[in-house]
């Protein structure tokens, strides 16, 4: 895909959104996620309610806004059902004691 650099930033961003099929962006800067307890060297998933997401939407970015539990590794997040994002965590070098943590999340609404 080539871009017409003679266009304004606003026009280029709009073209990316329209061409990418993005209808809206869902942002939650203070999403509570309960990190599960994990026995090393395993992984665990946790489903989190995020109102407005649906299958076909894409998680663009996710980041913990506080320190994760000791030995915890955040691995991924994806939209798994209507109003549900699944977070995947793993252990690295020891067991993980579960705890509620805050994450920032950005999802491209493509539905």
Domain annotation covers residue 95 = yes
Domain annotation covers residue 8 = no
Global pTM value: 0.83
Domain annotation covers residue 64 = yes
* pLDDT tens digits in sequence order for the chain, 111 residues long: 555 666 676 666 676 666 777 888 889 999 999 999 999 999 999 999 999 999 999 998 999 999 999 999 999 999 999 999 999 999 998 999 999 999 999 998 988
Domain annotation covers residue 75 = yes
**Per-residue pLDDT reduced to its tens digit, 56-70:** 999 989 999 999 999
CB atoms within 10 A of CB 3: 10
**Buried (b) or exposed (e) across 82-111, using 16+ Cβ within 10 A?**
eebbebebbbeeeebeebebebebebbbee
49 within 8 A of 83, measured Cβ to Cβ: yes
Domain annotation covers residue 15 = no
- pLDDT score recorded for residue 13: 66
37 within 8 A of 96, measured Cβ to Cβ: yes
Domain annotation covers residue 55 = yes
For residue 77, give the CATH number of its domain: 2.60.40
Domain annotation covers residue 6 = no
- pLDDT score recorded for residue 6: 66
User: 85 is in which domain, residue-wise?
Assistant: 23-109
Rounded Cα distance between 109 and 26, Å, is 7
Domain annotation covers residue 84 = yes
Number of domains in the chain: 1
| List of residues 6+ apart from 33 with CB closer than 8 A | 46, 48, 87, 100, 101, 102, 103
């Amino acid at each position: 895909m080539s871009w017409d650099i003679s266009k304004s930033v606003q026009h280029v961003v709009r073209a990316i959104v329209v061409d990418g099929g993005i209808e809206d962006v869902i942002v939650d800067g203070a999403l509570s996620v309960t990190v599960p307890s994990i026995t090393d060297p395993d992984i665990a998933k946790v489903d989190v309610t995020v109102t407005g997401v649906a299958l076909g939407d894409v998680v663009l970015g996710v980041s913990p806004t506080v320190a994760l539990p000791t030995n915890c590794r955040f691995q991924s997040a994806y939209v798994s059902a209507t109003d549900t994002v699944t977070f995947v965590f793993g252990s690295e070098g020891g067991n993980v004691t579960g705890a509620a943590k805050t994450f920032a999340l950005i999802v491209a609404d493509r539905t």
